[in-house]
Amino acid sequence: MLSSSRDSARLLAVLMLLLLAGGAAESQGIPRGERLEEVLVLHAYTLKHQRASDAVPLIHPLLSEHGTVELQPGDNTLVIRDSAGALSRILPVLRSFDHAPRALRVEIMIVRASRSAVSPPMNHSDLPEDLTRKLRKILLYDNYDLEAQALLQPIEGESVTYEIGEGYQVAFRLGTVLPDRRVRLADFEIGRRFPRRQAQELLHTNLNLWLDQTMSLGLAKSEGSREALMVVLTLKDGRP
């Protein structure tokens, strides 16, 4: 009987400890039975170098099902509510993104592409040989005449307006180099200028460029046009 009484006392003590532990968890805002990694944590991150608004598209794919991100533009801060596991993925990306602005090189070529009007065709190109070869594989044009060219060296986050050649103008805002080496050119515009009449907008869009890669954009009235205006863009690191 004595042994039975001691066992009962021990069992009662264990039950009381379990009840106290459950009450302590609830008093700290952690529902009983919920895993610690599922509890939402609030983390405010103030960016020092880059725009917080530019970081929002990076954060959204990394949030958990219940995670949220709030932009506070006044102090360039992101307020993130998510699990500890999600924050462990998000914070390294933010730290990598928030680097001091660096210089890049953007080479822009305005090219007049056309089909030969004679047979056999008289092929001609002002472009580098490897680029000409790539364009002729995917386009039906034989000739590529360079009309204007510029090498710009903007800094991340900088807005650029530049006159190219004798009749073209380009404008864009350069984004930030992302971990995948991608850079966004926001509000990218190419237009024609004329001496005594209103300028003509040829292209207005947002572009994603990758470091050390070339992008070609063709502007034509239709797929069967014998002539097209092409914008060839190459992005490189501006650091020595």
pLDDT of 159 higher than 60 = yes
Task: Check residue 123 and give its pLDDT.
Answer: 82
Please give the residue that has the higher pLDDT: either 28 or 227. 227
Degrees to nearest 5, angle at CA 140 with 151 and 128: 30
Predicted TM-score (pTM) of this structure? 0.69
- Asked whether the beta carbons of 67 and 80 are under 8 A apart, the reply is yes
Task: Check residue 133 and give its pLDDT.
Answer: 87
Read off the tokens for 19: 């009840």
Token pair 């863009």 in the structure block, residue:
233
Domain ranges of the chain: 2-97, 104-237
pLDDT of 153 higher than 90 = yes
- Asked whether the beta carbons of 111 and 118 are under 8 A apart, the reply is no
pLDDT digits (tens, 9 = 90+) for 98-134: 988 889 999 999 999 998 776 666 788 988 898 888 8
Please give the residue that has the higher pLDDT: either 170 or 7. 170
Task: Check residue 120 and give its pLDDT.
Answer: 65
pLDDT digits (tens, 9 = 90+) for 10-57: 444 433 433 344 443 343 444 544 454 568 999 999 999 998 998 999
Task: Check residue 17 and give its pLDDT.
Answer: 39
User: Which residue, 56, 88, 83, is CA-closest to 67?
Assistant: 83
pLDDT digits (tens, 9 = 90+) for 168-209: 999 999 999 888 889 999 999 999 888 888 888 989 999 999
Task: Check residue 121 and give its pLDDT.
Answer: 64
- Most confident region among 84-93, 122-131, 230-239 by mean pLDDT: 84-93
H or E segment to which residue 112 belongs: strand 104-114
Task: Check residue 68 and give its pLDDT.
Answer: 95
Task: Check residue 178 and give its pLDDT.
Answer: 86
Task: Check residue 207 and give its pLDDT.
Answer: 93
Fold annotation for 2-97: Ribosomal Protein S8; Chain: A, domain 1 (3.30.1370)
CA 33 – CA 35 distance, rounded (Å): 6
